[in-house]
Each structure stands twice: as structure tokens, then as C-alpha cells.
Amino acid sequence: MSKPAHTLTIDSFTCAWCGLTVSAYAADGTRRNHCPSCLHSRHVIDHVEGGPSDCHGRMSPIAIAVLRTGDWMVVHRCVRCDELTSNPVCADDNQLILMRMAVRPLAQPPFPLEAFGTL
């Protein structure tokens, strides 16, 4: 049985981290799969062969990747199975969190910054 043409469907989800009710569509109309406030997501599609297809763990934002096109991607890691995924940044995503993730490698390098004093 199909839905009548006049039926309004609202796609939304509740953030697994902060509890915010989120529209599945960003302000520009693109589909989103992460919370615009805290950038967390839910692991609903398994991309690793042989992995658990019903993991449904929380996907924690861990980094920013920049494509050759200049588009930014949020890199997520599942807290349950450790799978990594990336998703496009949406126009209404929290800019402060995005910038914190983008500069983290420069602010916390894996070597002492004092090493630059001797160069």
C-alpha cells in the first residue's frame, strides 16, 4: 500500500551523544547523517567485509579530511567496532568543533615543539 501524495514525512533522528533531535536534511537540503551540534553519528552501515552489519555503535568525530576538491569531510570512528568512515561537512555544522579538529594535529604534534628551536 503506497502513501497518499499529500502525506508529510519528517525524517529526523535523535543524536546518540547529545540527545538533540536532528533533521535528516541540512539547511541546504542535502541529506545528513550526523548531529550538527556535536558531530556524532550512529553506525548504521557496515563498510568492512565480514563486520557486524547491525553494530549501531556511536560514531565519534575524530578528524577532518580535505578532499582535492576542497570539500571537508568529518572522519568518524565507531566506539563499538573501531570502523572508520567519512561524511561530508554540512553548512550548518558546528564550526567551532570543526576548527578544533582541523587544528588539533598542529596544536598537539607527536614530537616536542622545542625541536624547532635548534633548526
pLDDT in tens, 70-96: 999 999 999 998 999 999 999 999 999
| 2 in any annotated domain | no
- The domain total for the chain is 1
| 116 in any annotated domain | no
pLDDT at 101 over 90: yes
Q: What is the pLDDT of residues 18-66, one digit of tens each?
A: 999 999 898 888 888 899 999 999 887 766 666 556 688 899 999 999 9
Residue 3 binned pLDDT confidence (cut-offs 50, 70, 90): low
Q: Show the cell assigned to 61.
A: 568525530
Global confidence as pTM: 0.77
Residue located via cell numbers 576548527: 99
The pLDDT of residue 8: 52
Half-sphere exposure (CA, 13 Å, Cβ side) for 43? Answer: 25
| 23 in any annotated domain | yes
Which residues form the domain of 84? 12-106
Residue 10 binned pLDDT confidence (cut-offs 50, 70, 90): low
| 97 in any annotated domain | yes
